[in-house]
Structure 1
Amino acid sequence: MTTIPVAVPRKGRPLEAVLDRVAAVADLEEQADSIASTLRYEKAVTKGTQTPAEDVYDRLAEYSDTDRYHPEYTLLRDARLGVPRRIVFDSLRVDLGEHELHLVGREEPFRALRKHEFGLGFDSADLVLEEVVSIEPEPLSSLDELNDRIDPHDTDVRVVDGLGDTVHHALLSMPDVADAPDREFLRGYEGPLCISPRYERLVRAVLGTEATDGVSFRYPDDRDEEAAIASIGVGIYLTVTGSTARDHGLSVGERLFPSETVLLENPTEHEDVAAAVAELLVGGIETPV
């Protein structure tokens, strides 16, 4: 049996998307649900909305098991105020019959692939946009375009395909600014645009430099994003249904780019068996070129 290591996120929606995809090709539904529920509970503990009866080390010991195909967890310092300890996913081996998949938790799987630590991994498409996609005059609107925007001198990592856990970076505005803001509206717009500061490079790539001429970025600071956009008049934020944005009086406009978990590969660290596993995980979809 050949073991294929795969870098995966340690927590959150991207990890759950990976577990759901792996469960679709292996007998993993019960474990996937258990991991997801455990990490949601631990997130609630970290945020203070749950009060556990046991110490963090006792909980970690309770979650642990010596069985080869049992999930493993680890303890990290969270980035929140006060740097609380948080239990996160660490490792899981999945029996695929002829091969064994070893899911290995990493804080930044994409960067682990960039450093040639893994041949396969899962991470958010956002991180690819934030780190390596070139900013050009023309906008970027789909996952299929990502690989064409990656400089081969910058990284060997390429996007294989998305997992479908899609939320969108959407254009939002107050109705007195625009009823249904879209890219055409932005091409003629000059003024403040509210975005999260971590997404500035992503937004520049998604909109293209032609659309950002005359635009000045503003940041929410310590306010909720929707409230900040409402006060500024127009902005870009991640939305699923748009209901929270509408609660703030905002119009939900064009979906600019999908925020989705993607399968990544570093071909220089790829083996034939890893290629077969990658094909299995994305349903036989070939890597875009």
Structure 2
Amino acid sequence: MTATIPVAVPRKGRPLEAVLDRLAARMDAATVADEVCSTLRYEKSITKGKKTTEKDVYDRLADYSDLSDSTRPEYTLLRDDRDGKPRRVVFDSLTLEHGDLRLQLIGREEPFRALRTHEFALGFDSADLVLEEVVSLEPEPLSTIDDINERIDPRDTDVRVVSGLGDTVYHTLLGRPDVVSEAGDGWSPSREFLRDYEGPLCISPRYERLVRAVLGTDVVEDLEFRYPTSGREEEADIADTGLGVYLTVTGSTARDHGLEVGERLFPSETVLMENIPEAGTNAVGRAKSLFTEADIETAIRV
């Protein structure tokens, strides 16, 4: 008998692509995974004004849809927060089969919150959102994904992190050399530097709680948070401030603004989560194994 397991996933972006990437290899789904990723990237470029098309968004949505075939991906429309609030085509659902297991990926705006309310046993979201929602703020910094579950109060939520997908970029400390050099020769933007630093730190408002968690409350007491100016590259605002935290891959843009790329404070990675009371069945366990076998780079203590 085939078991159907619904899994909450983001509607767009890097975390959704990471999930599809993993399933492309595990469930012989490379073609449909590539189709979804390509469609969403194309729609993003239209929304951002990088591409144009004569078809309106409803015609494009109709072109992507084939409700007569249950194995085809489905899409829906989301109101984007860019100027003019355009409607954007985003992921809605996709059903994949693996032996006697049917995995039903269902798009949610906030997968983590969907798990918290027991709508799903399994789901994927950015590790950042777990920190922003439920991780306790303590004097000691939180620096690895391994430590997330230890910072979750079991009275607050039944959700725990199971594993990461390895699509890692980092919240990195960036600093202007003249600001860091005030501490003496050989210093670089680092946790050690921040212990004695008192002054402004430029961060994105959405990551304020995350920054408090990964730096620790003792360090944060001496910092004055500054926020980027709308319409500018965040690295430019960090350069004006002198020190800041930003998501980086190569750090090339930061260097273009005269910033020194310092310590990686915390990995921003897509994580598999489970709602423990909802995840006790054998079928859910087999679904989890598609993401937690030996070739997964990050294993989380539960």
TM range (shorter): over 0.9
SS in 2 for 1:57: helix
Identify which of 234, 251, 266 aligns with 1:257.
266
* Equivalent pair of 1:120/1:263 in contact (CA under 8 Å): yes
**Superposition CA RMSD, Å:** 1.1
**1:33 aligned residue:** 34
Partner of 1:125: 127
Which 10-residue stretch deviates more, 213-222 or 85-94?
A: 213-222
Alpha-carbon shift at residue 287 of structure 1 (Å): 5.2
Q: Which residue of 2 aligns with 1:226?
A: 235
Whole-angstrom CA distance in 2 between matches of 1:248 and 1:6: 41
Aligned 1:262-281 pairs, distance under 5 A: 262-270=271-279, 271-281=281-291
Unmatched runs of 5 consecutive residues or more in structure 1: none
Match of 2:92 among 87, 90, 93: 90
- Residue 211 of structure 1 deviates from its aligned partner by 1.4
1:188 alignment partner AA: D
- For the pair 1:210 / 2:210, whether they are aligned, the reply is no
Q: What residue is the counterpart of 1:110 in the other structure?
A: 112
Deviations along 1:165-217, one digit per CA (max 9) or x if unpaired, are 00000000001112521100000100000000110000000000111121110
- Distance in 2 (CA, whole Å) between partners of 1:172 and 1:35 is 35
Q: For residue 16 of structure 2, what is the aligned residue in structure 1?
A: 15
Match of 1:43 in 2: 44
Q: 1:191 aligns with which of 189, 192, 199?
A: 199
SS of residue matched to 2:7: strand
Query: 1:215-246, CA deviations, whole angstroms, 9 ceiling, x for partnerless residues?
Result: 11000131321000000000000000000100
In 1, Cα distance between equivalents of 2:100 and 2:253: 47
Structure 2 counterpart of 1:24: 25
State the secondary structure of the residue aligned to 2:277.
helix
1:132-186: per-residue Cα shift (whole Å, max 9, x none)? 0000000000000000000111110000011000000000000111252110000
- Checking the alignment, whether the CA contact within 8 Å between 1:26 and 1:95 is kept in structure 2 is yes
Could you tell me which residue of structure 1 aligns to residue 183 of structure 2? none
Equivalents in 2 of 1:198, 1:61: separation in Å? 34
Distance across 2 between alignment mates of 1:31 and 1:282: 22
CA distance in 1, matches of 2:110, 2:96: 21
| Structure 1 position 165 matched with structure 2 position 167 | yes
For 1:272 and 1:279, locate their aligned partners in 2 and report how far apart those are by CA, in whole Å: 11
Could you tell me whether the CA contact under 8 Å between 2:146 and 2:300 is conserved in 1? Answer: no
SS in structure 2 at match of 1:152: coil
Number of aligned pairs?
Answer: 289
Taking structure 1 as reference, are residues 171 and 287 closer, same or farther at Cα in structure 2, changes over 3 Å only? Answer: closer
> What fraction of aligned residue pairs are identical, expressed as a percent?
68
Structure 1 residue 53: Cα displacement: 2.2
Over 6 Å off, 4+ runs: none
Q: How far, CA to CA, are the matches of 2:152 and 2:60 in structure 1?
A: 42
Structure 2 unpaired stretches of 5+: 181-186
Q: Secondary structure at the match of 2:31?
A: helix
SS in 2 for 1:6: strand
Q: Distance in 1 between matches of 2:159 and 2:81?
A: 27
User: Residues 38-92 of structure 1, C-alpha deviation per residue, up to 9 Å, x if partnerless?
Assistant: 0011011111111112121111111111211110001111122221100000000
Matches of 1:97 and 1:107 in 2, distance apart?
29
Q: 1:64/1:51 Cα in 2 relative to 1: closer, same or farther (>3 Å)?
A: same
- Taking the aligned partners of 1:92 and 1:282, their CA distance within structure 2 comes to 21
Structure-1 separation of matches of 2:169 and 2:263:
13
Give the structure 1 partner of residue 56 of structure 2. 55
The aligned counterpart of 2:184 is none
Q: Distance in 1 between matches of 2:179 and 2:289?
A: 46
